[in-house]
Structure 1
Amino acid sequence: MAAPEPAIPRRPSRRNALLIALVVVFALLVLALRWVGQPSRVAGLILAQAGKTLGLEITASGASEYRLRGTPMLQLRDVVARQPGAPTPLLRAERIELELPWATIRAAGNDLTVRRVEVDAPQLDIAALQRWQAARPPSKTRIPTLTDGLRVVRGRVIGEGWSVDALAIDLPSLHPDRATAAHISGRFANGTLAAPFDLQAAVTRPALNAGLGLSGTVGVESPPWSLPMRLVLSGRVHDGNDGMGIDVIRMGAAARYRDGETDLPFVFGLAGPLRLHAGEVGMTPLGLALRGRDAIPSLHAHGAFSFGDTLALRLDGLIADWPKAWPALPEPLESSVSALPFKYEYNGRADLSDTSALQLQRDATRFDGQFRVPEILQWIDSIDQGTPLPPLAGHLSTPKLEIAGTTLEGVEVDIAPTPGEAMTP
């Protein structure tokens, strides 16, 4: 009996093959929807790609959200961005929300149009930011288009010994080749010194060397005194190896010194380049013009200014005349119409409470001394009923003085502070 021939398996019909393919596609679709349905996975993928492009480690540990209908939106929470291996993040934020048109997504980086950006409670570390910038290869900066603008609330910028708190930015729109304007407010803080500000800012375009304008109110506060002012500033945007900043600054301000019942108005102007580098702010060279009345002198000077852990200020200039509200000078100083050349140096706390050094001259009379600004301000406050001698220490030399009808020649005087007010140079 012959053996039966083996059964030849039948090939699946086209109908069965199509059914199998549909099942596989459906399974893959279910898996894809399950993966896409987890916003943290989508956020992780996007942040990983962004971090690779920027040379940063970017994470979002909070709950993330996204929307695909209409204009796609991605919302990230508890965002941290740091340079790989760096102990300090350059940026933290409670929430970042991006709205990106479909055309931008399909362009895969060739189109940088963004509808809107919102950032809640960002914290930017200037030193970490500049270390990251220094490590980046040279490249052309591409400015995005923000059709519906940028909003920042409760921001904080951390520098070397200072911070800007409660930072708020409202930028209605941004285009690479157009003028733009923004409203910026916040509060600068360093120890006991604070400077709240509320400014309107405008640039001719968001690029280096573009024209910049600022106007609004700034206050300097160090209880018990305050210095509110209204200012206007112009300059050019700068970013280079010496830091970020503003070139060709021209600033004018109307200010008032207030302490109790004392209210002294004056105006002043500043000129020079402003730099923010390694967490410090500075102006070198610095030009200053001050026009006061009553107890505020009028003067002009040049020098330098830097501010980080401490405040350093150096001025070399001329006081136009001895203020009429100050006690009268002895003759022949009182009758002289000569300006008073001066040199001023300070290095200490930002509220000017440490010792200042001063050289002051009129004709052949010269004074070299030290004083503390708060004590001088208290003396100015009570100048009508207090001592005619300011609270300072130093050495006075003059060829001749006339006091109470007596002429003294070759005068050399060492001035000591009032007991209880001893100063350390």
Structure 2
Amino acid sequence: MAATEPRKPRRRWRIALAIFAMVVIAVVLAIRHYTRTDRLTALIIGEARSALGADLTVGGTAHYDFWPTLHLVLAAPSLNAPNASAFIKADAIEVRVPWRILWADRYDIEQIDVIRPVLDLDALKQWLATRPASNASTPDIRFNLHLIDGNATSGGMTVAEGLDIAFTNSGDLAAWIDGVRAHPDSSALVPPLNGSADAKVLQIGTTRLEGVHLEVKDDVPPPASHE
């Protein structure tokens, strides 16, 4: 009886799988090396402090997720003025960044997603009131911000539930914050934003509103004069 030849196709598949596994491991190690979370985390914390005068803290080690886009995940973040209560807490912040950060030194932020935030309106008001007056130019903060499934509280009670807010600022947000602090009774109480906001429930005094949708367009030109 003639001897059977080795099954070459099976051997080739094993070699191919081994090579594929080695490539995957090399790619994972390269991504881990080039996407150091500490650098981007420090950048975000520094921007919050320098631009807003607020302290951003996170409750765990940051990490990258790669689906559906590359983004840095900051667990259990909170934002507060120094020595004051946090005016916003969340389950997580996801900072979307372009894939080119894998090989470039520049860190660009495309969008910030805040997952299940809780906004304390009283603490926010206190933070705005205590921002120091300054004649120095403030940094021009530009961002795309998305709050997902958020709540808002005031006086220890929930005043908004199921908030889904997607905003892009159309002007200098830091300058607007300084303006509100300096002139709290001015008419410019709406920040320079474009986008939309949805809420499952809004409680305004004794009035309960459900299924609220709001569109904000700050760049609409004023009506033409008919002189």
TM-score, L = length of structure 2: 0.55
Provide the secondary structure at the position in 1 that maps to 2:106: helix
1:114–1:144 Cα contact (<8 Å) kept = no
1:156 equivalent in alignment to 2:151: yes
Provide the secondary structure at the position in 2 that maps to 1:106: coil
CA distance in 1, matches of 2:218, 2:35: 42
Task: Report percent identity of matched pairs.
Answer: 21
| Cross-structure match for 2:111 | 116
| Cross-structure match for 1:185 | 199
CA shift at 1:114, angstroms?
4.0
Structure 2 residue corresponding to 1:100, chosen from 90, 93, 97? 97
Structure 2 residue corresponding to 1:66, chosen from 64, 82, 94? 64
Matched AA of 2:199: S
1:151–1:169 Cα contact (<8 Å) kept = yes
Matching of residues 386-397 of structure 1 within 5 Å: none
CA shift at 1:117, angstroms?
2.3
Root-mean-square deviation (CA, aligned residues, Å) is 4.2
1:145–1:176 Cα contact (<8 Å) kept = no
2:202–2:210 Cα contact (<8 Å) kept = yes
CA shift at 1:35, angstroms?
11
Q: Relative to 1, partners in 2 of residues 1:90 and 1:105: Cα closer, same or farther, differing over 3 Å?
A: farther
Which of structures 1 and 2 has the bigger CA Rg? 1
CA shift at 1:135, angstroms?
2.6
CA distance in 2, matches of 1:179, 1:46: 24
Provide the secondary structure at the position in 1 that maps to 2:165: strand
| Cross-structure match for 1:168 | 164
| Cross-structure match for 2:81 | 83
CA distance in 1, matches of 2:170, 2:44: 25
Moved more, 50-59 or 89-98: 50-59
CA distance in 2, matches of 1:79, 1:156: 15
Matching of residues 6-85 of structure 1 within 5 Å: 39=37, 41-42=38-39, 44-53=41-50, 54-66=52-64, 73-85=71-83
CA distance in 1, matches of 2:166, 2:193: 15
How many aligned positions are there? 165
Provide the secondary structure at the position in 2 that maps to 1:194: strand
Matching of residues 127-166 of structure 1 within 5 Å: 127-138=122-133, 140=138, 142-146=140-144, 150-160=145-155, 162=157, 163-166=159-162
Task: Map Cα deviations across residues 258-280 of structure 1 (whole Å, 9 max, x no partner).
Answer: xxxxxxxxxxxxxxxxxxxxxxx
2:112–2:143 Cα contact (<8 Å) kept = no
CA distance in 2, matches of 1:179, 1:57: 23
Q: Relative to 1, partners in 2 of residues 1:120 and 1:142: Cα closer, same or farther, differing over 3 Å?
A: same
Task: Map Cα deviations across residues 34-68 of structure 1 (whole Å, 9 max, x no partner).
Answer: 7966x4x4465335423431322221113522269
Q: Greater share of helix residues, 1 or 2?
A: 2
Q: Relative to 1, partners in 2 of residues 1:67 and 1:105: Cα closer, same or farther, differing over 3 Å?
A: farther
Matched AA of 2:196: A
Task: Give 5+ residue unaligned stretches, structure 2.
Answer: 1-28, 173-191, 223-227
CA distance in 2, matches of 1:137, 1:76: 28
CA shift at 1:89, angstroms?
0.7
CA distance in 2, matches of 1:182, 1:170: 6
Q: Relative to 1, partners in 2 of residues 1:196 and 1:141: Cα closer, same or farther, differing over 3 Å?
A: farther
CA shift at 1:166, angstroms?
1.4
2:79–2:89 Cα contact (<8 Å) kept = yes
Matched AA of 2:219: R
CA distance in 1, matches of 2:218, 2:73: 31
Task: Give 5+ residue unaligned stretches, structure 1.
Answer: 1-29, 108-112, 212-425
1:145–1:175 Cα contact (<8 Å) kept = no
Q: Greater share of strand residues, 1 or 2?
A: 1
Task: Map Cα deviations across residues 338-387 of structure 1 (whole Å, 9 max, x no partner).
Answer: xxxxxxxxxxxxxxxxxxxxxxxxxxxxxxxxxxxxxxxxxxxxxxxxxx
Matching of residues 136-285 of structure 1 within 5 Å: 136-138=131-133, 140=138, 142-146=140-144, 150-160=145-155, 162=157, 163-171=159-167, 175-176=170-171, 180-189=194-203, 194-205=208-219
CA distance in 2, matches of 1:81, 1:174: 19
Matched AA of 1:151: H
